Structure 1
Amino acid sequence: MLKKLHQCQWNKPPLHFPILSSLLFPKPSSSVSAAMLHHDHDHDHDQDHQLKTFAFGRFVGPAPRLYPPAELNRKISQFLLSHVLAGNRSFKDLHSLIYQIVQQEGSGSAPSICELLLNNFHGWDSNIVVWDMLAFAYSRFELVQDALFVLAKMKDLNLRASIQTYNSLLHNLRHTDIMWDVRNEIRDSGTPENEYTNSILIHGLCEQSRLQDAVSFLQISEGKDTGLSVVSFNTIMTRFCKLGYLDVAKSFFCMMLKCGLLPDSYSYNILIHGLCVAGSMEEALEFKNDMEKHGVEPDIVTYNILAKGFHLLGLMGGAWKVIQDMLLKGFNPDVVTYTILMCGHCQMGNIEEGLKLREEMLSRRFQLSIISYSVLLSCLCKSARFEEALILLYEMEALGLKPDVISYSILIHGLCKKGEVHRAILLYEEMCLRRICPNYFTHGAILLGICEKGNISEARKYFDNLITSDLVEDIVLYNIMMGGYVKLGNIAEAVQLYQKLTEKKITPSIVTFNTLIHGFCKSNKLEEAWRLLDTIKLHGLDPSVVTYTTLMNAYCEVGNIDGMLELLWEMEAKAVMPTRVTYTVVIKGLCKQWKLQESVKLLEDMRAKGLTPDQITYNTIIQCFCKARDLSKAFQLHDEMLLHNLEPSPVTYNVLINGLCVYGDLKDADKLLLSLEDQKVSLTKVAYTTIVKAHCAKGDVSRAIIFFHQMVEKGFKISIKDYSAVINRLCKRCLINEAKYFFCMMLSDGISPDQEICEVMLNAFHQQGDLYSVFELLAEMIKCGLLCD
């Protein structure tokens, strides 16, 4: 690509405007005064148009203003002093004085100032310095038209402006093609250019996205005294890095060395930043080491860039190593360093470290930004620490930071997500009282919160109020409301809302159609769901991976595996990449047809495409192999999970234990559970109830009692359902005394029996002929209100 860029020939500046050049820096003309008198003061023109309003003589601007005598005398005194300072070469004081004059006079004052100078100081020896400083001051205040007026007057007087003034003007015009007219005037005036002149031109070309022209301009500058500079190379390297062409940027770095220019810290930082953004941290660290080898010391910016790179990858350990290295080199962390670390820890869920860094920043009197606070607020809300989040919100105001719509929206969204919609609405009202306009995200958070609480009628009232009040008309709100109806199985209302938004000519999004498809699939209306694929295309949208996966899952659930696979093929034909969820759905479908080897093959295909199977994917296949009584393969898949650093979930172990209990050896199930306990693997109550029920079913009551007590000791909440499952199985095995043991244990735990369990026990006692236990149980039932006296 670099070779191709270098093929562009640079015979003249791009988009050269000779006519415009004569307008900007014209020769004197007698038509000036007439043009000035008839000038129309239209301030609605944009800057480019105004810059071109030069007549053949001078800038067509406002007529010189008339100063009151006292003001005129003051102005003459100021310029008298400026000429004295210029004559004495007191340039610092002169600079301050001219800046003060320009700041006082403001935009459009150049004609008046120039007339004052012409009438009172014409021919003074120090005149050229004052005029040049005046043009420079106007340019630095970005009063470009005034600066151009002064330069046109200087040309009339044969006063040559300095390259510093021209460079400042070039910098202000770098976004426009007019910069080439200024450059032509520099050459025509004979003012010697310096390295910054070409650097500004290259910067302008890069900002105008004319990178090929910038490279060609750099090429033709080779060999000239003022042609090449480190700044020029840095500008081009920055642009290539932003576009993602790191190799091209590195080639310019090498070219800089070949030209005898020594890269500075900024040069290295450009490449290090580009590599960090691309995730190439090793190479970025190599560049930092190379920097030190060549005698260029990394600065605080270098270390912050590297820390940010590690943060973007979620490697906060690497970020801390960079900070430690920085401290060893004698650098103190600045506000950027702290912000990077704070954001990193918060995004990793380590809110405590984030809050500690905030305290340290405050103790060092660093000003936290709204972004820093927003990150902390988000992290606290995710942890449901809303009281602390509210304290932070009001702390912002105490420190002079005004909470914005994002700060409030984060809190409102967090409260709604946790079901505290009432508090969210109070915060919303407070926000409105402070004249902070809520956006669709704020409204969406409240609407979503009400929907998730299941209060669909309240949600609809809120939604209708927004729509009828014209407060907001956004497809996102329609999608949320439709999603609320679909969640409750009310597809009819969702369809009505869809029809309403089409009537209002609001463009539906792919989320709109995905919501409807999910609703139809949930209601077993697969034909309607399928027809929506054509509707999606009619709206100029493409079905997403969610669209296809939702439909595939629906076909899988009804056993239409051919339909599911047809969707998969269509999806791949349209270059829609399947996700992990998509593959899990397909695996589930294959498992339903007992195509176990094909499902295992699909795991390999996932990895080949860069997708990592998760616990749900593996659990689906493991369960199928357990049902197929191939427990060795099920455990092999479990080992494969560990091999790929995928931690089996409690569900994985529930599936394996259940497989051993139902299809394998119960002793192996015991060993597995005990082994997992020794390894302190987190298990759920299901693992214990499964093994207890299995021992009860096989009549091994002593083992059942052991595991039942272990379940109690683990702190799991034991319900009537758990006791009922055990007692039922024992009664079926005619182990009445053992059933009675669990029944008494249930009563001693303060759990009252229900009708079903009492009837099971009564039948068991009756068959055993244990009338005493029958009467005792009847009394208990009367006590519990299960039997009338």
Structure 2
Amino acid sequence: MPRLGLRPSTAVYNALIAASVRAGAVDAAYLKFQQMPADGCRPDCFTYNSLVHGVCRRGIVDEALRLVRQMEGEGIRPNVFTYTILVDGFCNAGRVEEAIRVLDRMKEKGVAPSEATYRTIVHGVFRCLERDMAYIMLSEWLSHEPTVHQSACQTVLYCLSKKGMAKEAVEFAKTISTRGYLLDSTAFGTVISCALKCLEMSDLCELLDSFIKNGGNPGFDVYIMVIKSLLNCKNFPKANHYLWHMVSKGVLSSVMSYNMVIDCFIKAGALDKAEEIVKGMQEKGFLPNLVTFNTLISGYSKSGNIHNAKVVLKMLMEHGFMPDIITFTSLIDGLCHTHQLDDAIVCFHEMAEWGVRPNVQTYNVLMHALCSAGHVNRAIDLLNKMKTDGISPDAYSFNALILSFCRMRMVDKAQNIFNSMVRFGVVPDNCTYNSLIKALCGQRRVSEAKKILLAREHNGCSTSNNQSYWSIVCALTKMGHFSEAGELMNKCLSRNVELSCGSNQSIESAVAVQVVNA
């Protein structure tokens, strides 16, 4: 370029230095920086920021500090990016106290920290220190700040939530509220999710009421979390109170939001209230959709009220909707629970007339009902039909048959189903293994049970807090193989397997093993 009478500008050098830093070539960036005076180019704030960023990434924070002093000596004023990079560098180096001092220094220089600066310092402190120490340090630092910074507070709450410090998050929220700071809806949602883990419902409601009283506007997520918790505690009056708040403040602003609330009340068994909400949403101009009706049908079916489920089905069609797989599966499930098995099978066959194809859940509902009623062969026929229709059965499908045969003490047939399950490529679960092992042990076929147990371990199925080991231990003690039972029990304890004796297991077996291990 000099041969052509052209010289690079500061902007050109800045682009080259920044590119070198991004590529990790900090030495090359320094070389270009040193060439600038020879070409008559004066470094600016961007030049120094790139270099400061580069050395901080390498962990050479003291060199970054020297560069900042150098730029100040040349009359170049560091900006918010300079200080934020420095703060991040000190945090990454584990020097959090110096990072906070950098923050104080930038304020002294009249540079206002940005949201990124506050997020950087908070994340950095939590990254470097043990969580309790980080909370103490940040609380103390913020208590000396003349104003409460939104970004800093929200980031502290976010970190406390992620670190599982629910109690501290609630405590922090209360502390900053005493200083006149009102959280926004998102941050308050974080506080409520933490409060659910550590506060009594009365204290949680007090927290929410205080937020509303101080002018806060809880969002839909906050209300739905609180209402779900209240319904779980069967506190219907308070749940209705917050539902009224949602309606009056326009928080329920779509059919989807109404459907979620309806689902909460239905799962709590408050079906009358759910119907009342459906009427209320129509009065507000929101027409129920297929999800609304399916939610009601599912609720009535699970409660055994098939009459009302059919009434809602009629309403569904009157509103121009066609029943889908969820509609039919819910109705079949309800009919099965009320022992109307023949009607459930009729409903199953009617699906084809409506152009609805059964799925694995539909088949599973019917298969379990048939097995419970003792019609295991019909359940097997249904399993075969399922395969013929190209629907892959899952572990739940096979478990219905295995459990039934085990209860009938037809263990060989249960094993045949188990083998078919494995050949079909379905991975057995804990229920499969526990049922089969217990049945084999009941017939003193311990060697076969142990083979199943080995297969279970090979497949990586969870072995903690299960009765499979205990079934084998009990069988061995009944057979007088005390030494082998003791060895197996010690093996379980060494693997932190929690042995638990079922109500139908032999107390004598437990005593015998304890004697062996004494």
The question of a shared fold, defined as TM-score above 0.5 by the shorter chain, is answered with: yes
| Compared CA separation, residues 272 and 507, structure 1 to 2 (3 A) | same
Q: Counterparts of 1:21-36 in structure 2 under 5 Å?
A: none
Matched, 1:303 2:166: no
Provide the residue aligned with 1:347 in structure 2: 232
Provide the residue aligned with 1:542 in structure 2: 427
The residue type equivalent to 1:423 in the other structure is: N
CA distance in 2, matches of 1:422, 1:562: 52
The partner residue of 1:492 within 377, 384, 404 is: 377
Structure 1 residue 511, shift from structure 2 partner: 1.7
The residue type equivalent to 1:386 in the other structure is: L
Structure 1 residue 272, shift from structure 2 partner: 2.2
Deviations 1:733-783 (A, max 9, x none): xxxxxxxxxxxxxxxxxxxxxxxxxxxxxxxxxxxxxxxxxxxxxxxxxxx
CA RMSD for the aligned pairs? 5.1
Structure 1 residue 347, shift from structure 2 partner: 3.0
CA distance in 2, matches of 1:566, 1:486: 27
Structure 1 residue 549, shift from structure 2 partner: 1.8
| Compared CA separation, residues 496 and 620, structure 1 to 2 (3 A) | closer
Matched, 1:421 2:309: no
CA distance in 2, matches of 1:603, 1:365: 61
Question: Are the equivalent residues in 2 in contact too, given 1:486–1:515 (CA < 8 A)?
Answer: yes
Provide the residue aligned with 1:450 in structure 2: 335
| Compared CA separation, residues 479 and 313, structure 1 to 2 (3 A) | farther
Question: Are the equivalent residues in 2 in contact too, given 1:308–1:340 (CA < 8 A)?
Answer: yes
Matched, 1:474 2:349: no
| Compared CA separation, residues 620 and 250, structure 1 to 2 (3 A) | same
| Compared CA separation, residues 332 and 311, structure 1 to 2 (3 A) | same
Provide the residue aligned with 1:441 in structure 2: 326
Structure 1 residue 465, shift from structure 2 partner: 1.8
Q: Counterparts of 1:9-88 in structure 2 under 5 Å?
A: 11=20
The partner residue of 2:315 within 423, 430, 454 is: 430
Question: Are the equivalent residues in 1 in contact too, given 2:252–2:258 (CA < 8 A)?
Answer: no
| Compared CA separation, residues 288 and 610, structure 1 to 2 (3 A) | farther
The residue type equivalent to 2:166 in the other structure is: M
Deviates more, 1:517-526 or 1:558-567: 558-567
Structure 1 residue 421, shift from structure 2 partner: 1.5
| Compared CA separation, residues 401 and 568, structure 1 to 2 (3 A) | farther
Structure 1 residue 427, shift from structure 2 partner: 0.6
Matched, 1:624 2:507: yes
Q: Give the secondary structure class of the aligned counterpart of 2:461.
A: coil
Provide the residue aligned with 1:334 in structure 2: 218
Deviations 1:409-467 (A, max 9, x none): 23212211222223212212211332345443332111111122222222112112214
Deviates more, 1:358-367 or 1:587-596: 587-596
The normalised TM-score by structure 1 is 0.42
| Compared CA separation, residues 367 and 606, structure 1 to 2 (3 A) | farther
Question: Are the equivalent residues in 1 in contact too, given 2:433–2:468 (CA < 8 A)?
Answer: no
CA distance in 2, matches of 1:308, 1:588: 43
The partner residue of 2:387 within 487, 502, 526 is: 502
Q: Counterparts of 1:239-388 in structure 2 under 5 Å?
A: 247=127, 264-273=149-158, 275-276=160-161, 279-285=164-170, 288=173, 297=181, 299-301=183-185, 302-311=187-196, 316-317=201-202, 319-320=204-205, 322-323=207-208, 326=211, 330-332=214-216, 334-336=218-220, 337-362=222-247, 367=252, 373-374=258-259, 377-378=262-263, 380-382=265-267, 384-388=269-273
Question: Are the equivalent residues in 2 in contact too, given 1:478–1:497 (CA < 8 A)?
Answer: yes
Structure 1 residue 321, shift from structure 2 partner: 5.4
Deviations 1:253-306 (A, max 9, x none): 999x9xxxx99423442452354356431343465478689x893514333321
CA distance in 2, matches of 1:248, 1:553: 50
Deviations 1:590-630 (A, max 9, x none): 5983999979x9799799959696xxx57557x8369999x
CA distance in 2, matches of 1:339, 1:573: 43
Question: Are the equivalent residues in 2 in contact too, given 1:520–1:526 (CA < 8 A)?
Answer: yes
Question: Are the equivalent residues in 2 in contact too, given 1:272–1:284 (CA < 8 A)?
Answer: yes
Structure 1 residue 354, shift from structure 2 partner: 0.9
| Compared CA separation, residues 554 and 351, structure 1 to 2 (3 A) | farther
Question: Are the equivalent residues in 2 in contact too, given 1:424–1:446 (CA < 8 A)?
Answer: yes
Provide the residue aligned with 2:452 in structure 1: 567
Provide the residue aligned with 1:155 in structure 2: none
CA distance in 2, matches of 1:461, 1:495: 18
The residue type equivalent to 1:624 in the other structure is: I
Structure 1 residue 502, shift from structure 2 partner: 1.7
Structure 1 residue 477, shift from structure 2 partner: 1.0
Structure 1 residue 548, shift from structure 2 partner: 1.0
Deviations 1:693-724 (A, max 9, x none): xxxxxxxxxxxxxxxxxxxxxxxxxxxxxxxx
The normalised TM-score by structure 2 is 0.61
Question: Are the equivalent residues in 2 in contact too, given 1:521–1:551 (CA < 8 A)?
Answer: yes
Q: Counterparts of 1:185-264 in structure 2 under 5 Å?
A: 230-232=114-116, 247=127, 264=149
Structure (1 or 2) with the larger CA radius of gyration = 1
Provide the residue aligned with 1:404 in structure 2: 289
| Compared CA separation, residues 291 and 620, structure 1 to 2 (3 A) | farther
Question: Are the equivalent residues in 1 in contact too, given 2:166–2:198 (CA < 8 A)?
Answer: no
Deviates more, 1:362-371 or 1:501-510: 362-371
| Compared CA separation, residues 625 and 499, structure 1 to 2 (3 A) | closer
CA distance in 2, matches of 1:604, 1:392: 56
CA distance in 1, matches of 2:462, 2:422: 18
Structure 1 residue 382, shift from structure 2 partner: 4.8
Between the two structures, name the one with larger relative contact order (CA 8 Å, sep ≥ 6).
2
Provide the residue aligned with 1:527 in structure 2: 412
Question: Are the equivalent residues in 2 in contact too, given 1:489–1:522 (CA < 8 A)?
Answer: no
| Compared CA separation, residues 264 and 627, structure 1 to 2 (3 A) | closer
| Compared CA separation, residues 612 and 457, structure 1 to 2 (3 A) | same
Deviations 1:339-380 (A, max 9, x none): 332222123333332123223444566547656654654454
Provide the residue aligned with 2:275 in structure 1: 390
Provide the residue aligned with 2:27 in structure 1: none
The residue type equivalent to 2:183 in the other structure is: D
| Compared CA separation, residues 385 and 286, structure 1 to 2 (3 A) | closer
CA distance in 1, matches of 2:212, 2:494: 42
Number of positions where the alignment pairs a residue of Structure 1 with one of Structure 2: 401
| Compared CA separation, residues 437 and 309, structure 1 to 2 (3 A) | farther
CA distance in 2, matches of 1:411, 1:495: 32
Question: Are the equivalent residues in 2 in contact too, given 1:355–1:376 (CA < 8 A)?
Answer: no
| Compared CA separation, residues 479 and 327, structure 1 to 2 (3 A) | closer
CA distance in 1, matches of 2:282, 2:210: 35
CA distance in 1, matches of 2:369, 2:258: 32
Structure 1 residue 499, shift from structure 2 partner: 1.6
Question: Are the equivalent residues in 2 in contact too, given 1:382–1:414 (CA < 8 A)?
Answer: yes
The residue type equivalent to 1:501 in the other structure is: M
Deviations 1:97-125 (A, max 9, x none): xxxxxxxxxxxxxxxxxxxxxxxxxxxxx
Q: Give the secondary structure class of the aligned counterpart of 2:467.
A: helix
Deviations 1:43-88 (A, max 9, x none): xxxxxxxxxxxxxxxxxxxxxxxxxxxxxxxxxxxxxxxxxxxxxx
Question: Are the equivalent residues in 2 in contact too, given 1:300–1:331 (CA < 8 A)?
Answer: no
Provide the residue aligned with 1:697 in structure 2: none
The residue type equivalent to 2:415 in the other structure is: W
Question: Are the equivalent residues in 1 in contact too, given 2:395–2:429 (CA < 8 A)?
Answer: yes
The residue type equivalent to 2:302 in the other structure is: K
